[in-house]
Amino acid sequence: MRNVKALTATSLALALAACNMAPKYVRPDLPVPETSPAGPVGGAADATAVSADTAWKDFFTDPRLARVIQTALDNNRDLRIALANVEQARAQYRVQRADLLPAVGVNGSATYQDQPFAQQSSGGTGGVSGRTDIYTASVGVSAWEVDLFGRVRNLTKAAQESYFASVENRNAAQTALIAETATAWLTMAADQERLQIARNLEKAFGQTLDLTKARFSKGIASELEVRQAQTSYDQARSDIAAATTQVAQDKNALDLLAGTSLGAEDLPSNLPETDVTLANLPAELPSSLLLRRPDIAAAEHQLIGANANIGAARAAFFPTISLTAAFGTMSLGLSNLFKSGSDYWSLAPSASLPIFDFGKNQGNLRYARATYDAMVATYEKSVQTGFREVADALARRATMSAQLEAQTSLRNAARKSYQLSDARFKAGVDDFLTALDSQRTLYNAEQTLVATRLTRASNMVEIYRAIGGGLK
């Protein structure tokens, strides 16, 4: 019978120890369609080709760009801040987790007591007075909370999820840094090419100006034509100065992202003719892929933590049981402290149950539930934002090939028109205005083509970022 009672008591204790007041967590349904909108994207590659499993070194294929990205990952200060935030969250989690187990400490004390009043003798006629010295040494635990209702476990769970969220925020910072660095590198490449186009135009306008001046001296050309040629030439010089400034600022932006001064061997001189990233993409992507985005993963960890906080708030309505225990030695003399017969032990359990708290616990519970609702909305918005970013990037990608082809054809036609117009002008067949107009048309077409190529390359970087990047 006694064994049965002991078994029953043990089972009850284990059942109480397993009690958890937190609601069962269920991931909210994705508030987006099952797949991204389909479009005529090049290639039929599987979605995993650009998923979070893809290493960034495999995604960005240009070796110079890869070296710049690696330098940024090694030296960027913003990424260091994100890493420090991870370490802070990890330390906080460890502090909270320590409350699950009793803290064992060693204590020693010495008490010196002087009796001011005489102790009565057994005969009641007299007494003695004197000093009593008490020495103790013990090992024990102090006010350890027995977590019967899961308050400490849920607080630990919330701290753990906060740590996980900080890790994902660090991953998001890394993905953003990779994307920003790649975009800045491509922007510098495009501006370098724009600078070269401006220099070529200056050379062409300079030749036209010299020819026009020569014709003016012979009375063939008018002063108006000379002034127009001078205006075009000066505009080209101004464009060179502006482009030179922009290239220098692009270099400064790259150095800031990289956290150090980059060498000339890693800097682009023009936009590469071939893709600097993986070129094949699926026509559509499953929405479940968004769950691997670091920002969405961080939002879900925060949601799980908010769910655990509800459990901690619920547990506050139930008794809190604490345990203080010690084992050691005690003696009236220091020399006798560790001798046989001086052992002692103490056990002091305590329990407290809130009765009147004037709505404090109820308010904490309402706050925890409201926080959870806010985290649900935050999570759903993160999913919707990610879905739109992916859909927008894929939609842009769907029309880029056609736009690039059309713009290339326009540039080629403008170049041929300029060549014919320039030859006719030098031969005296066409007037100056015709030649000037063809030069400007070619210049605009070349600038637009560079912008289109930059948009195409940047679009792949945006897809990389929108999907969540690769963290390997």
Q: Which amino acid is at 404?
A: L
The CB-side HSE value for 461 (13 A sphere, CA atoms) comes to 25
Q: Is residue 19 part of a domain?
A: no
Q: Is the pLDDT confidence value at 76 over 60?
A: yes
Mean of pLDDT values over 196-220: 88
* First and final C-alpha spacing in the chain: 62
pLDDT at 65: 94
* Residue 138 or 297, more confident: 297
Query: How many secondary structure helices (H) and strands (E) does the chain include?
Result: 9, 6
Q: Is residue 344 part of a domain?
A: no
Q: Is residue 129 part of a domain?
A: no
pLDDT at 117: 55
What is the H or E stretch that residue 439 is in? Answer: helix 432-467
d(CA 151, CA 310): 10
The CB-side HSE value for 390 (13 A sphere, CA atoms) comes to 33
Q: Decide: 459 and 397 in contact? Cβ < 8 Å.
A: yes
Instruction: From residue 236, give the alpha-carbon distance in Å to each of 85, 202, 239, 241.
Output: 50, 5, 5, 9
d(CA 434, CA 454): 31
How do residues 371-407 score in pLDDT, each as one tens digit? 999 999 999 999 999 888 888 888 888 888 899 999 9
How do residues 324-376 score in pLDDT, each as one tens digit? 888 778 777 666 666 676 777 777 788 788 888 788 889 989 999 999 999 99
Find the Cα–Cα–Cα–Cα dihedral 149, 155, 157, 159, rounded to 10°: -170
Q: Give the list of residues 6+ apart from residue 363 with CB closer than 8 angstroms, or none.
A: none
The CATH number covering residue 44 comes to 1.20.1600.10
The CB-side HSE value for 92 (13 A sphere, CA atoms) comes to 17
d(CA 316, CA 365): 9
Token couple for 309: 């906080």
Q: Say how far residue 37 (Cα) sits from the centre of its chain.
A: 26
- Is residue 197 very low, low, confident or very high in pLDDT (cuts 50, 70, 90)? very high
CA-wise closest residue to 180 among 467, 468, 423, 458: 458
pLDDT at 45: 40
Other C-beta atoms closer than 10 Å to the C-beta of 228 total 17
Q: Is residue 24 part of a domain?
A: no
pLDDT at 13: 45
Q: Which amino acid is at 193?
A: E
Q: Which domain holds residue 458?
A: 30-100+147-317+360-467
Q: Give the list of residues 6+ apart from residue 469 with CB closer than 8 angstroms, or none.
A: 52, 56, 59, 174, 175, 178, 179, 294
Q: Is residue 421 part of a domain?
A: yes
What is the H or E stretch that residue 171 is in? Answer: helix 151-217
d(CA 128, CA 27): 76
d(CA 20, CA 31): 29
Q: Is the pLDDT confidence value at 168 over 80?
A: yes
Q: Is the pLDDT confidence value at 42 over 80?
A: no
d(CA 179, CA 181): 5
Q: Is residue 109 part of a domain?
A: no
Q: Is residue 460 part of a domain?
A: yes
- Is residue 209 very low, low, confident or very high in pLDDT (cuts 50, 70, 90)? confident
Predicted structure pTM score: 0.81
Report the number of distinct structural domains present in the chain: 1
Other C-beta atoms closer than 10 Å to the C-beta of 216 total 16
Listed in order, strand segments (DSSP E) in 46-182 are 104-114, 119-120, 127-128, 131-146
Q: Is residue 273 part of a domain?
A: yes
